Amino acid sequence: MPRWLKDNGLSIGFGLIFLASLVGQAISGHGSVNHDAALHSGDPISFWHYVTSAVFWTDVMENWQSEYLQFTLYILATVWLLQRGSNESKQMDKAGGESDEDQLLGEHAKRNSPLWAKAGGWRTSIYSNSLVLVMGTIWLLSWLAQSITGRINYNSTQLDHHASPVSWLTYITTSDFWNRTLQNWQSEFLAVGSMAILTVYLRQRGSPESKPVGAPHSATGTEG
């Protein structure tokens, strides 16, 4: 196996199944839309028309936003919230942002620490929160994209039924927007809660998402 492939197994592996799923979503979504059109004696649309339509992109964006919200919240919540016995939690005395020594900041930085971890001031403050800043930005932008493209679909249905189109500000108060949003959030939060509590008593040999198989149930914040 080439070195670059071994070094990037996770990002390449998940990137490939993401692309395969997205293509699958596009093909099945196109089929579904045309099936619906046939039932209503409407004209079928081309594949290209479908993948550049607000219908397709609303579906993509509403799933993106919930995943990025999940990880953003998880990264933030695990700074302060702990779970005794969980591999997903820090040790019980580590709640909060931790000391500069623990976080290898300023004078505690190592020779090969990132430059902005050594710099101090605003640069270290930004770098100390850079993961949440970027993940949170992706969440907010994908939620915004869901609302903008969702409104196009909503208004298209409104016009089909001789009802008035709505503004963006009105759309984000509709049951359509919140139903699409919350049906995704509930599943993400359940999955995160499950990971936090199931890793107390269950194991997967070899996975860093699990404690070592022989680790005691009471061990908190260890890696497999």
Q: Which residues bind another protein (CB under 8 A)?
A: 3-4, 7-8, 11-12, 15, 52, 54, 57, 60-61, 64, 134, 138, 141-142, 144-145, 148-149, 151-152
Closer residue to another protein in complex, CB, 6/205: 6
Closer residue to another protein in complex, CB, 50/87: 50
Closer residue to another protein in complex, CB, 74/171: 171
Nearest approach in angstroms of CB 212 to another protein is: 26
Backbone angles phi, psi at 192, to 5 degrees: -65, -45
Distance between CA atoms of residues 157 and 138, nearest Å = 28
Closer residue to another protein in complex, CB, 2/121: 2
Nearest approach in angstroms of CB 4 to another protein is: 4
Long-range contacts of 188-195 (CB under 8 A, 24+ apart): 188/66, 188/67, 188/69, 188/70, 189/70, 191/70, 192/70, 192/73, 192/74, 195/88
Distance between CA atoms of residues 21 and 28, nearest Å = 10
Distance between CA atoms of residues 30 and 194, nearest Å = 34
Nearest approach in angstroms of CB 138 to another protein is: 6
Residue 99 to residues 56, 76, 95, 96, Cα–Cα distance (Å):
46, 17, 11, 9
Closer residue to another protein in complex, CB, 20/81: 20
Nearest approach in angstroms of CB 152 to another protein is: 5
Nearest approach in angstroms of CB 60 to another protein is: 7
Tokens, residue 36:
């619906």
Nearest approach in angstroms of CB 52 to another protein is: 7
Closer residue to another protein in complex, CB, 157/222: 157
Distance between CA atoms of residues 103 and 79, nearest Å = 13
Largest CA distance in the chain: 71
Q: Which of 62, 67, 64, 68 is nearest to 153 (CA)?
A: 62
